[in-house]
Structure 1
Amino acid sequence: MTDRWLLDPDPALLPPARTPEVRFASGGVPLLGVLHVPAGPGPHPIAVLLHGFPGNERNFDLAQALRRAGYAALVFHYRGSWGVGGTYSFANVLADAARAVPAVRELAAEHALDPERVALVGHSLGGFAALRTAAHDPSVRAVTAIAAFDFGAVSQAPDVVLREAHDMFGSDLLPLRGTDGDALFAEMLAAGAAWRLAGLAPALAGRAVQVLAASHDTAAPPALHHEPVIAAYTAEPIHRLEHATFPTDHVFSDHRQALARAVVTFLDRHLGA
């Protein structure tokens, strides 16, 4: 049987699928997004996608796969990134991710969405933001973190890891405004261990959590960014925890369909499109 996320909808299904531009404010700044609305009357469960740093990979293929599977998928840009106004910072990314959850619920009536079934799906920095947002917002039904970058763990790592992080933060600044590598590095150090993803285990204990890693990941190596998180989440325990490691790189370059299957299958168990 073919996975439904690979199949276009029945052309007789009404209303048809659509992709409206959406805007919502965070911190007084209008954020820009695209909502992938499935075909059919709904109400459709919602997946909010959170991209990484700086956002070269925005996971639109996941958004399309989720739509084919029956989920409305929101992709948006954070403050200070990709032409959006305001200043970019990691704290603003977290604030914007938190704001996206009520914002997408505000679109429910207009786009036949189910405000009670909201999930977060984040990659890299977005995975970090997804787990932190879900930990602080019990209304989020499920959360998927893909190759999550653990800022708190890096802040406590040896100098060689810190130097690599500093160089990385300073190398991808063209799509961003109001910041630089030194400012982002200082922000991570100031947050310190408070940003460790393992520390979220108590807040996520009763939640549906999926954590996916890549064994060839050089941006967020599993030994630092994934394995300690899984150890903490297993010890808590998070009873609805699912985790896996794929033989691929940080953006799952050659495992995109396997990634989509894993995410859709997980959300089906906990949101049920």
Structure 2
Amino acid sequence: MKLAHLLMASLLLASGAGAAGPPAYPNPPLSVITDPPADAKNPAAMAVVRIPTHGVSINGVLYVAAGSGSHPTLLLLHGLPGNEQNLDLAQAARRAGWNVLTLHYRGSWGSPGTYSFAHCIEDGKAALAFLRAPQAVKAYRINVDRIVVAGHSLGGIVAARVSADDDAVAGTFLIDPADIAATGRDFADPAKKQAFVEGELRGDMPPLAGTSVEALSDETAQAGEALDLVAAARKLADRPLMVIGAERGIGQRGKAAAEAAVAAGGPWVQSETWATDHSFSDMRIALSARLVGWLWTVPPRATSFTGPGWNGGNVFARIIRGELPVAKVYEDDRVLAFMDNHPESVGHVLVISKTAHARNVMEIDPADLARLIVVARRIAIAERDVFHPTGVVLQQNNGNASSVPHLHIHVYPAYGDVPSLSTPAKEAPLAELEPVAAKLRAALPK
């Protein structure tokens, strides 16, 4: 977590567009060039899946990362018709600890149904729903708060639109993305229309079912906001967005989208144009390295500053409503203090506001914050008197250093070295926490 946080901080300074090419990678991320140690209990796996969408089930493959616990997950979308599936990127991301879902849209490469650009977007949204379904979350250990969508070429506009229409997507990675609406506007020039039809459609029809050159040409000519890359990018300004274009491809489309996101106020936007072709044929290692390095800078959506606001479904809100049991140390009409069930040390207490709907210190009313500090001080005094530590830590995290999107203050005894909250501590059962809570309650100063 600390490494990812530092990477994010450094990369945010590079917002904007215009890099001439990929960075040099004399030492690319290990997951790009090295197999990780095998995990006998939770090995890496490949699952063939069927994704329900609009009355049919399309073909997908889910590359499951090794290791226990939940995994961040990448939805990777291919272009038209999908000859380049970027599975080398999928494998690199999996070796880095990410699940990766790839798919074939309706009517493409054996998936049932009728192919169209609009259907591709619908299928991308269906894939997100599939990843969030409880059975998939459990089976593939998916962290639903850290789902990223990536797409290449046509998959780029699909990824951008899917993310723009889904506030819970954590970040978006676009590889030389297409802009169908902009291409349709270019049809005002007959020569450009003919070039698109002959260069992009005429030879791509064999893997596609239920469509034709004429149908896709007409859909392009009539494309509206749903297939407008720049319009989608403006809605992605509130979260991490990486756009990598190709000089010998359609890099100007991605550059325009990135510039629109920056103009919309996006501080987490990065854009680069590389000296390669549309398929990145001679820069695959660099592309894998860039993807893997960027993925780890994307924080969980709900707990980051880029995420949606406070919501009543978070675990602390449920505790306040009495839906989850805790060992209480203190409670009044505005504040609740209870034992952390993953204590850094014996006596670790969390102090939360019962009335403030705030994720972080920037969002909370000063009066509510002052009340929390008063209670935290009382808890600290009780911990000093009960445990006689060398010190008492008060810690409050904001953004992607926080695990729950509800402001909370950690108060816990320290003995010499201060524990690190970046490493999850062992879970303590409620029966062990209750006696500790009772000691602290008795020691609270009046």
Normalised by the size of structure 1, how large is the TM-score? Answer: 0.94
User: Runs (4+) of structure 1 moved beyond 6 Å?
Assistant: none
Counterpart for residue 402 of structure 2: none
Does the aligned pair in 2 maintain the 1:170–1:182 contact within 8 Å? Answer: no
Q: Distance in 1 between matches of 2:291 and 2:192?
A: 30
TM-fit CA distance, 1:235: 1.4
Q: Distance in 1 between matches of 2:74 and 2:271?
A: 19
1:83 to 101, 110, 116: 110
Q: Distance in 2 between matches of 1:80 and 1:236?
A: 36
> CA 1:12/1:172 → structure 2, altered by over 3 Å: closer, same or farther?
closer
> CA 1:238/1:83 → structure 2, altered by over 3 Å: closer, same or farther?
same
Counterpart for residue 252 of structure 1: 280
Counterpart for residue 262 of structure 1: 290
Tell me whether 1:4 sits opposite 2:30 in the alignment: yes
1:246 match: secondary structure? strand
2:238 match: secondary structure? coil
Does the aligned pair in 2 maintain the 1:18–1:36 contact within 8 Å? Answer: yes
1:97 match: secondary structure? helix
Deviations 1:160-210 (A, max 9, x none): 222112222122111110001110010111124663211224321211111
Within 5 Å, which residues of 2 pair with 1:164-179?
164-167=195-198, 168-179=200-211
Counterpart for residue 199 of structure 1: 231
TM-fit CA distance, 1:229: 1.8
> CA 1:271/1:34 → structure 2, altered by over 3 Å: closer, same or farther?
farther
Q: Distance in 1 between matches of 2:254 and 2:221?
A: 20
Q: Distance in 2 between matches of 1:39 and 1:271?
A: 20
Letter in 2 for 1:163: Q
1:114 to 120, 139, 143: 143
Residue identity (%)? 37
Gaps of 5+ in 2: 1-26, 301-446
TM-fit CA distance, 1:45: 0.4
Q: Which of the pair is proportionally richer in helix?
A: 1
Within 5 Å, which residues of 2 pair with 1:88-167?
88-106=115-133, 107-157=136-186, 158-167=189-198
Measured on the aligned residues, the alpha-carbon RMSD in Å equals 1.5
Q: Distance in 2 between matches of 1:247 and 1:7?
A: 26
Moved more, 107-116 or 9-18: 9-18
Deviations 1:87-117 (A, max 9, x none): 0011100100111111112211011111111
Does the aligned pair in 2 maintain the 1:46–1:113 contact within 8 Å? Answer: yes
1:232 to 260, 267, 277: 260
Does the aligned pair in 2 maintain the 1:205–1:237 contact within 8 Å? Answer: yes
Letter in 1 for 2:213: G
1:32 match: secondary structure? strand
> CA 1:178/1:248 → structure 2, altered by over 3 Å: closer, same or farther?
same
> CA 1:141/1:70 → structure 2, altered by over 3 Å: closer, same or farther?
same
TM-fit CA distance, 1:242: 1.0
Counterpart for residue 366 of structure 2: none
Normalised by the size of structure 2, how large is the TM-score? Answer: 0.58
1:122 match: secondary structure? strand
- Higher relative contact order (CA closer than 8 Å, sequence separation 6+): 1
User: Number of residues paired by the alignment?
Assistant: 268
Within 5 Å, which residues of 2 pair with 1:180-199?
180-192=212-224, 195-199=227-231
The structure with more radius of gyration: 2
Within 5 Å, which residues of 2 pair with 1:59-70?
59-70=86-97
Q: Distance in 1 between matches of 2:70 and 2:61?
A: 18
Does the aligned pair in 1 maintain the 2:177–2:251 contact within 8 Å? Answer: no
2:66 match: secondary structure? coil
Deviations 1:124-169 (A, max 9, x none): 0001100011000011101111010111111111332221122221
Letter in 2 for 1:228: A
